[in-house]
Amino acid sequence: MSGTSLTEVAKAGGVSLATASRVLNPHNEHPVSDEVRARVLAAAASLNYSVNALARGLKVKRTRVFAAIVHDFRDPFFNTVARGVTNAAEAAGYLTVVCDSSRDPDKERRYVQLAQEQRVAGVLFVGGGLTSRSYREAMRQQIATLQSYGAHAIALEPRGSRMPAEIPDNRGGARRATDHLVELGHERIAFIDGPEQVLTSRERRRGYQDGLEAAGIALDERLVASGGFTEEGGRAALVRLLDAGVPFTAIFASNDAMAIGCMVELRARGLAIPHDMSLVGFDDIQTVRWFDPPLTTVRVPMEEIGAAGVARLLALLDADGGEPPGGRLVNVHPTELVVRASTAPPGRGKARS
């Protein structure tokens, strides 16, 4: 079989990936003009494109396989959601292929293309989408290609599109975390943000801002730094905040990995948690309850969301192309603030470097 990809055929034919797939899919029922069809077939012939035997030769349109595309295998949050996906899929008789995009949007799109070529029954996005218009348009086309042969895609974090979704209440959870710190008496609350272009980060930051606004506390942008949702990034963000010399008494890190990085840096500087600095995370990954002190965090029902995503996919497949009656496009799963020993009323009242 030729190494030429469907993307190359689409580019040579001057059409979208979805249109190229429709032309070359014998089961496609979407109308395509004769002129476009001829152009795509000519491009395929000139590139010696050979249709994948598994994807086209079988009588069925799709396989009993799901693809779960996660942002980062190193993050226990994604592993736990993926476990919920794989367990629920296996119980329904489906195999799940789990792919790590390393937070690279191009890599994510390549995985979706590979999933299409293997005729998976569904793709589950275990990680938030990006805010850029080009990314969203490219993803829209890829989802259309999946749907052209009867497959579906489900989001397990915000994607900013008309994609069915089972997502956590990121904004509400962040609001509750901020309220908790305010109720303890903190007014100078630093915020360690995730990647700016990821919609999950945006929702959690809005929750933080909601909490400040409700308490009548003005947002101080000097107390906000991006940590990229990684432990190393969280520590680096806190270094920048502490070295800037702007006082604060509490930190809200918008995921547990960054909160762990903050713990490391606070200890390196001789700052005690929570006497010198209160600390809150988000996700409630399994290990943080055993830390010294145990971490106050927002619990996300990770495995339940993964299982709900599979149930949603199965319902869509059973509905043969339509959303089951009475279903909502986005189901938001409640999050819960878990108060542990890393938060307390302000001690000395300001951070020191």
Q: Classify residue 341: in a domain, yes or no.
A: no
Q: Classify residue 350: in a domain, yes or no.
A: no
Share of the chain above pLDDT 70, in %: 90
Share of the chain above pLDDT 90, in %: 69
Q: Is there a single domain that holds both residue 266 and residue 183? A: yes
Beta bridge partners of 154: 124
Q: Classify residue 338: in a domain, yes or no.
A: no
* 100-157 pLDDT, tens digit each: 999 899 999 999 999 999 999 999 999 998 888 888 888 889 999 998 889 999 999 9
* Residue-range definition of the domain harbouring residue 20: 1-51
Supply the pLDDT for residue 3. Answer: 57
Residue 292 CB contacts under 8 Å (≥ 6 apart), including other chains: none
Mean pLDDT score, 41-57: 65
Q: Is there a single domain that holds both residue 294 and residue 203? A: yes
Total structural domains within the chain = 3
At 202, which CATH number? 3.40.50.2300
* 97 alpha carbon, distance to own chain's centre: 17
* 227-252 pLDDT, tens digit each: 999 999 999 999 999 999 999 999 99
Query: Is residue 165 predicted with pLDDT exceeding 70?
Result: yes
Supply the pLDDT for residue 345. Answer: 97
**Angstrom distances, CA of residue 19 to CA of 4, 92, 138, 142, 148:** 17, 32, 13, 10, 9
What span, in angstroms and rounded, lies between the C-alpha atoms of 6 and 116? Answer: 10
Residue 50 CB contacts under 8 Å (≥ 6 apart), including other chains: 1, 2, 4
Supply the pLDDT for residue 351. Answer: 44
Q: Classify residue 349: in a domain, yes or no.
A: no
Supply the pLDDT for residue 296. Answer: 98
Around 77, how many Cα atoms within 13 Å sit in the side-chain half-sphere? 26
Mean pLDDT score, 296-313: 97
Supply the pLDDT for residue 10. Answer: 86
**Mode of pairing for the β-strands spanning 336-338 and 297-299:** antiparallel
275, 300, 325 — which closes off a domain? 300
Supply the pLDDT for residue 61. Answer: 74
* 165 alpha carbon, distance to own chain's centre: 11
Which band of pLDDT confidence, cut at 50, 70 and 90, is reported for residue 161? confident
Which band of pLDDT confidence, cut at 50, 70 and 90, is reported for residue 31? confident
Q: Is there a single domain that holds both residue 174 and residue 267? A: yes
Closest-CA residue to 46 (of 87, 8, 75): 8
Residue 33 has which token pair? 């003009």
Q: Classify residue 346: in a domain, yes or no.
A: no
Q: Is there a single domain that holds both residue 209 and residue 97? A: no
Q: Confirm if 280 and 180 have CB atoms less than 8 A apart.
A: yes
Which band of pLDDT confidence, cut at 50, 70 and 90, is reported for residue 58? very low
At 23, which CATH number? 1.10.260.40
Q: Is there a single domain that holds both residue 31 and residue 146? A: no
What span, in angstroms and rounded, lies between the C-alpha atoms of 256 and 234? Answer: 9
* 146-155 pLDDT, tens digit each: 988 899 999 9
Q: Confirm if 156 and 124 have CB atoms less than 8 A apart.
A: yes
3-state DSSP call for residue 249? Answer: coil
What span, in angstroms and rounded, lies between the C-alpha atoms of 295 and 311? Answer: 32
Q: Is there a single domain that holds both residue 47 and residue 27? A: yes
Supply the pLDDT for residue 324. Answer: 53
Q: Is there a single domain that holds both residue 7 and residue 82? A: no
Closest-CA residue to 7 (of 66, 46, 38, 49): 49
Q: Is there a single domain that holds both residue 295 and residue 310? A: no
* 338-349 pLDDT, tens digit each: 999 999 999 854
DSSP 94-151: -EEEEEE-TT-HHHHHHHHHHHHHTT-SEEEEESPPB--HHHHHHHHHHHHHHHHTT-
Q: Is there a single domain that holds both residue 269 and residue 157? A: no
Supply the pLDDT for residue 274. Answer: 97
Q: Is there a single domain that holds both residue 199 and residue 276? A: yes
Q: Classify residue 16: in a domain, yes or no.
A: yes
* 286 alpha carbon, distance to own chain's centre: 19
Mean pLDDT score, 264-272: 97
Which band of pLDDT confidence, cut at 50, 70 and 90, is reported for residue 26? low
Supply the pLDDT for residue 59. Answer: 41
Q: Is there a single domain that holds both residue 6 and residue 43? A: yes
Most confident of 23-27, 194-198, 326-330: 194-198
Which band of pLDDT confidence, cut at 50, 70 and 90, is reported for residue 27? low
Higher pLDDT, 161 or 177: 177
What span, in angstroms and rounded, lies between the C-alpha atoms of 97 and 308? Answer: 17
**Angstrom distances, CA of residue 21 to CA of 5, 6, 29, 115, 340:** 11, 7, 11, 13, 52
The mean pLDDT value of the chain amounts to: 89
Q: Is there a single domain that holds both residue 38 and residue 92? A: no
Supply the pLDDT for residue 28. Answer: 59
Supply the pLDDT for residue 349. Answer: 40
